[in-house]
DNA sequence: CATGAATGAGAGTTCATTCAT
DNA sequence: GATGAATGAACTCTCATTCAT
């Protein structure tokens, strides 16, 4: 009981130390000795709690991820509308990473490109989170809030892609200082796109809802979704 | 002359071998011996051409990147319209990675998270390419093709983010087989967003161009850009 | 406590082994493996105690030198007269090397010509010893036992020079078996020189204390100190 | 003929380069590549002229030494008196080293402690030179210029010892700038010793040529040769 | 005669990991 | 439970040396 608790505390202490160390160096450049020193323990003690350096690494996200996912679920419960939910998701991912830069480093720079990590328990939890995003998008499609031909997988990849890209840039280049500011514009872009509709909407009325056709004089604009029905698209 | 050429050929041969090896293992798990064996040379010979294992790694993208960037420039010269250009960029990035999976692995899984790589000559070339994307977006804003309040940096991050995410998934999970299929839908999403406008456009006419207000009955839809004028947004 | 002691013992054991190995081969021809084998340990264990092969080398004289210096001080405390002190110094240097041929080899053949060794802690101790010799000589000059125009630095160089030369010959050629026999004659030579005075002293009385002038008939003897007052000589 | 000459010139060119390189680094730290670069040749070319790195090293002193020895013989031919000859020898050794610091470095720091060098042709030439010193000393003894109980080997060791010591100090510490200044005082010391006789000579007359006995009041002076007839001394 | 190119053979060094205490 | 001590197992990198051209 007490011993169980104490053991858990030790584990947590080691994981914190490992997170700090692995955040700063590549996995193979960080040493168990450094982790041990950071944790105020001896090398051998690390091995009492984790059988392998790799196991130690893979154990870092286990708890944190679980907790993060649960918190996210909590927030989402009270949000109405798929768009708002997506906004919430993006916002909290960014918030989460911003508040835990070491954790972010480990996940984004060390684990993300690790093949073995994909077979890990921690990764399974992360995948569940990803599946959650998917559900939100599908919910938006079903409710008519999102286009019916939306590819939910792609939308998710878009969301995760930008977040990852922004977080990695932030970790490596240190800019911008505040990544949270991106939550709104990212959501906007995902939902609205970047096409200028104010200008085209007026035209629409006159030209039977085929908006961009007539701007061609200036430049050949990108031929949008409406006109490329043939484009390969994954079905949900 | 001949010797210069021969030396270049050897270098290329070693780089090809290195690409193959580093694509399969983490940098620290791949050994110079493996690269040498793959290249059909001795370990020592590798060191005649590259002073360090790390230098060898960083040399891999040098030529390939330069060539890729030039090809891209060539394509873009003949494309009109920012949207079409973005489509071209996305398409060719994906095409490029799809045709060079080993190269993709090295860049996406090994180099992307390497701090020292950022100070590399090869990375500078990559950055130039990134700057090119920015110009295209700014061009689209200036021409009125894209919204005037578009944050070009963010759009670029979005584009690179999805591409990276998709390529990494493809590399690690092997799916989808064909990532090129995403070029069109990604471009669509970036340009159009995912909001369902067919449904709302009719309303617009009646409610003075404030489209989403009235769908609220069903769900609280995400409060879009139009209504959050205050949202922090980087000016170009 | 115990562990501290044990660690010190291991260090000593490694140093003994290193001394033995480095005494037989050049530094670069001796390998850590050999030292490890001699010490009955693994290569890695050597590195637990000494961070570098060079550090191992430079650590060899540390303790031994300190002890030697202290012993020397002890002896000198009870000796009266600068000449007798010099005799003691020479005697004990030779005794010390004779009893520790491996140590002598390392110091004389490996370290003596090593530029980096001069910046070493151990060398600083040795320098102190050298300074001690200087004091003895100066003491002899002050007391009137040695010529007032004696250059103490030069005398010291003379003493150290012969000792080193003799020890190196002994180490490399194996002769003579017993270098201690040189303590007396070296001291004599330093103190008395080799000039034959018995012969000249008689003459002095008759020719107003200008002894060598008249032997010229036989050969042109070396024009001694007395006559070359102009000779450059460093003042103490 | 011409080719023979040319080849000799190349050899000389390589040896000069080698001298320069080996003077600056330990043998094992200097590389053939460096020597080749210094000589403006390729590595392989070095091996056309010297079969081994070690052979190259041992070849350095061959010519220089021979020339030095001959020059010395030339000088000595015209000097009368053993003391003057010794002075000449010391002077020219120092002069020679002072004018050829790279050569001095190689000989004093690299070759002197090399066991294999002793079996070298070049070393045999050096030995001859040493034997010459011996003859001069013996000559001095026979002529009565030096004490009859002088150990010529020891005197030689003394001479070589100081020279080596001074040259090595000069090479490693850079001081003094001018080692030639030591030629005179060294000779003085060897010949005269450092004992203060001016003071004691007056006494001698009264106490039957046992000079130091009575200074004891001040300190116990070193008991000199005269009183230690039993001291072990090698016979020539 | 000169050399570019290649390499065999090692050496130093590092660490994750084990185990007796 | 904690750790000091020890090491097996590699790996990077260096160089003297060779040889075909």
Whole-number Å distance between alpha carbons of B107 and B160:
13
Q: Where in chain C is the domain with CATH 1.10.357.10?
A: 58-224
Q: Which other chains touch chain A, taking contact as 3+ CB pairs less than 8 Å apart?
A: B
**Contact yes or no for C83 and D224 at CB 8 A:** yes
The tens-digit pLDDT sequence of chain C (236 residues) is: 566 777 889 999 999 999 999 999 999 999 999 999 999 999 999 999 999 999 999 999 988 888 899 999 999 999 999 999 999 999 999 999 999 999 999 999 999 989 999 998 889 989 999 999 999 999 999 998 998 889 999 999 999 999 999 999 999 999 889 999 999 999 999 988 667 665 444 333 333 334 344 433 344 556 666 445 444 444 44
Whole-number Å distance between alpha carbons of D134 and D128:
10
Q: Is B78 on the interface with A (CB under 8 A)?
A: no
Torsion angles phi and psi, residue D24, rounded to 5: -95, -25
Q: Which chain B residues contact residue A224 at CB under 8 A?
A: 83, 188, 191-192
Q: Residue A195: name the closest of C166, B82, C89, D84 by CA.
A: B82
Residues in contact with A98: Cβ distance below 8 Å, sequence separation at least 6, in sequence order: A104, A170, A178, A179, A180
Q: Is B83 on the interface with A (CB under 8 A)?
A: yes
Listed as ranges, residues in chain D with pLDDT below 70 are 1-5, 193-194, 196-236
Q: Is B124 on the interface with A (CB under 8 A)?
A: no
Query: C146: which strand partners?
Result: D195
DSSP summary character for residue C212? G
How long is the CA A92 to C1' E17 vector, in angstroms?
40
At B221 the pLDDT is: 56
* DSSP E strands, chain A: none
Q: Residue A189: name the closest of C43, C103, B152, D144 by CA.
A: B152
Confidence of residue B184 (pLDDT cuts 50, 70, 90): very high
Mean pLDDT for the stretch of residues B114-143: 91
Q: Is the Cβ–Cβ distance between D86 and D191 less than 8 Å?
A: yes
Q: How many CB atoms lie within 10 A of CB A10?
A: 16
Residues in contact with B193: Cβ distance below 8 Å, sequence separation at least 6, in sequence order: A189, A190, A191, A192, A193, A194, A195
**Contact yes or no for A204 and B201 at CB 8 A:** yes
- Which residues 54-113 on A are within 7 A of strand E at the CB atom? 54
Closest Cα in chain A to B212? A145
Q: Which nucleotide is nearest to A32 (CA to C1')?
A: E16
What's the topology of domain D1-51? Arc Repressor Mutant, subunit A (1.10.10)
Start-end of H helices in D40-119:
43-49, 53-77, 82-99, 101-105
**Contact yes or no for D83 and C228 at CB 8 A:** no
At B3 the pLDDT is: 63
Q: Which nucleotide is nearest to A42 (CA to C1')?
A: F3
Mean pLDDT for the stretch of residues B121-143: 91
Residues in contact with A57: Cβ distance below 8 Å, sequence separation at least 6, in sequence order: A18, A22, A27, A106, A110, A111
Closest Cα in chain C to D83? C222
Q: Is the Cβ–Cβ distance between C194 and D147 less than 8 Å?
A: yes
Closest Cα in chain B to A109? B113
Q: Which residue from D145, D158, D165 is facing C189, i.e. has the nearest CB?
A: D158
At B232 the pLDDT is: 41
Q: Which nucleotide is nearest to A3 (CA to C1')?
A: F1
From residue D211, give the alpha-carbon distance in Å to each of A129, C145, C193, D207: 105, 12, 15, 7
Strand F CB shell (< 7 Å): A 3, 7, 10, 41-45, 47-48; B 30-33, 43-44, 47, 51-54; C 3, 6-7, 10, 41-45, 47-48; D 28-33, 43-44, 47, 51-54
Q: Of B161, B214, B232, which to mutate for an interface test with A (greatest number of A Cβ within 10 Å)?
A: B161
Q: Is A104 on the interface with B (CB under 8 A)?
A: no
| Structure confidence by residue, pLDDT tens digits, C9-24 | 999 999 999 999 999 9
Q: Which residue from D118, D145, D182 is facing C172, i.e. has the nearest CB?
A: D118
Whole-number Å distance between alpha carbons of A125 and A118:
11
- Which residues 36-95 on C are within 7 A of strand E at the CB atom? 43-44, 47, 51-54
Q: Is D232 on the interface with C (CB under 8 A)?
A: yes
Q: How many CB atoms lie within 10 A of CB C191?
A: 26
Q: Which nucleotides in chain F have some atom under 7 angstroms from a protein Cβ?
A: 1-20
Q: Tell which wins on pLDDT, C213 or B140.
A: B140
Q: Is A111 on the interface with B (CB under 8 A)?
A: no
State in Å, rounded, how far the first CA of chain D is from the last one: 48
At C192 the pLDDT is: 84
Taking each continuous run of H as one helix and of E as one strand, the counts in chain A are: 10, 0
Q: Is the Cβ–Cβ distance between B145 and B94 less than 8 Å?
A: no
Q: What does pLDDT average to over chain B?
A: 84
Q: Tell which wins on pLDDT, B57 or D212.
A: B57
> Chain C window 17-76: which residues touch D at a Cβ cutoff of 8 Å?
26-29
How long is the CA B219 to C1' F11 vector, in angstroms?
61
Q: Is A124 on the interface with B (CB under 8 A)?
A: no
How long is the CA D223 to C1' E12 vector, in angstroms?
54
Taking each continuous run of H as one helix and of E as one strand, the counts in chain C are: 10, 0
Q: Is C221 on the interface with D (CB under 8 A)?
A: yes
Q: How many CB atoms lie within 10 A of CB D113?
A: 19
CB of B41 under 7 A from strand E?
Answer: yes
Q: Is the Cβ–Cβ distance between D126 and D61 less than 8 Å?
A: yes
At C216 the pLDDT is: 38
Q: Which chain B residues contact residue A186 at CB under 8 A?
A: 154, 158
Q: Is the Cβ–Cβ distance between D89 and D159 less than 8 Å?
A: yes
Q: Where in chain C is the domain with CATH 1.10.10.60?
A: 1-51
D-C interface (Cβ pairs under 8 Å ≥ 3): yes
Listed as ranges, residues in chain A with pLDDT below 50 are 199-219, 226-227, 229-236
D123: its two tokens: 């070393």
At C196 the pLDDT is: 65
At D206 the pLDDT is: 36
* Shortest CA gap A3–chain B (Å): 38
At C224 the pLDDT is: 61
B105-136: burial string, b at 16+ Cβ within 10 Å, e else: bbbbbbbbbbeebeebebbebbeebeebbeeb
C-alpha triplet C89, C92, C93: angle, nearest 5°: 80
Q: Which nucleotides in chain E have some atom under 7 angstroms from a protein Cβ?
A: 1-20
Whole-number Å distance between alpha carbons of A4 and A10:
10
At D211 the pLDDT is: 39
What's the topology of domain C58-224? Tetracycline Repressor; domain 2 (1.10.357)
At B8 the pLDDT is: 87
Closest Cα in chain D to C164? D161
State in Å, rounded, how far the first CA of chain C is from the last one: 49
Judged on CB neighbours under 10 Å (0-12, 13-18, 19+), B147 is buried
At what angle are helices B32-39 and B2-24 packed, to 10 degrees? 120
From residue D219, give the alpha-carbon distance in Å to each of B40, C15, C82, C84: 81, 42, 8, 10
Q: Tell which wins on pLDDT, B64 or C218.
A: B64
């Amino acid at each position: 009981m007490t011993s169980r608790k104490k053991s858990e505390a030790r584990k947590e202490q080691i994981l914190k130390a490992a997170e700090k160390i692995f955040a700063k160096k590549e996995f193979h450049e960080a040493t168990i000795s450094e982790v041990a020193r950071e944790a105020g323990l001896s090398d051998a003690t690390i091995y009492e709690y984790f059988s392998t350096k790799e196991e130690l690494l893979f154990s870092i996200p286990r708890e944190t991820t679980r907790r993060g996912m649960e918190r996210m679920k909590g927030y989402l419960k009270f949000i109405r509308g798929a768009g708002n939910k997506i906004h919430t998701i993006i916002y909290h991912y960014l918030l989460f990473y911003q508040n835990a830069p070491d954790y972010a480093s480990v996940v984004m720079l060390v684990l993300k490109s690790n093949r073995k990590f994909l077979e890990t328990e921690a990764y399974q939890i992360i995948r569940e989170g990803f599946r959650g995003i998917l559900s939100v998008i599908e919910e938006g499609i079903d409710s008519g809030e999102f286009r019916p031909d939306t590819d939910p997988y792609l939308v998710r990849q878009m969301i995760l892609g930008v977040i990852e890209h922004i977080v990695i840039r932030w970790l490596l280049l240190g800019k911008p200082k505040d990544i949270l500011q991106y939550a709104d514009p990212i959501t906007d872009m995902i939902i609205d796109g970047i096409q200028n509709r104010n200008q085209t909407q007026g035209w629409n009325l006159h030209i039977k809802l085929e908006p961009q056709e007539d701007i061609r004089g200036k430049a050949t604009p990108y031929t949008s979704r409406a006109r490329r029905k043939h484009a390969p698209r994954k079905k949900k």
